[in-house]
Amino acid sequence: LKLTKRSAILINTARGPVINENDLIEALEMGKIAGAGLDVFWDETKIPKRLIKLSNVVLTPHIASATIEVRLAMAEMVVDSVRAVLNGRMPETVVNMKK
């Protein structure tokens, strides 16, 4: 954040811990960066009030993937996974697979 231009707008739709929220809040409050758009947070159950109150921040509730294209792709992945299991194959996207 120290190296960014004052006109910079930080966007984070990846993972909350990618950014140190306290450093970001300080940079925003002091005008070191112009603004931020955040869809993810360090702890989504405890978004800092200082961050919420800032007028140069847009906060969304972890919905960056909520587009028609992404939701259709997700539905196709589910169908492909169910078909794989029904045909005795391992789905491509397995969570918590027991070895």
Q: Which of 26, 29, 62, 76 is catalytic?
A: 62
- Asked about 50 being catalytic, the answer comes back as no
From 6, 15, 71, 83, active-site residue: 15
Distances (CA, A) of 82 to 6, 64, 73: 49, 25, 14
Q: Is the dihedral of CA 7, 67, 55, 47 positive or negative?
A: negative
Q: Which of 6, 26, 29, 44 is catalytic?
A: 44
15 classed as catalytic: yes
Please list the active-site residues: 15, 44, 62
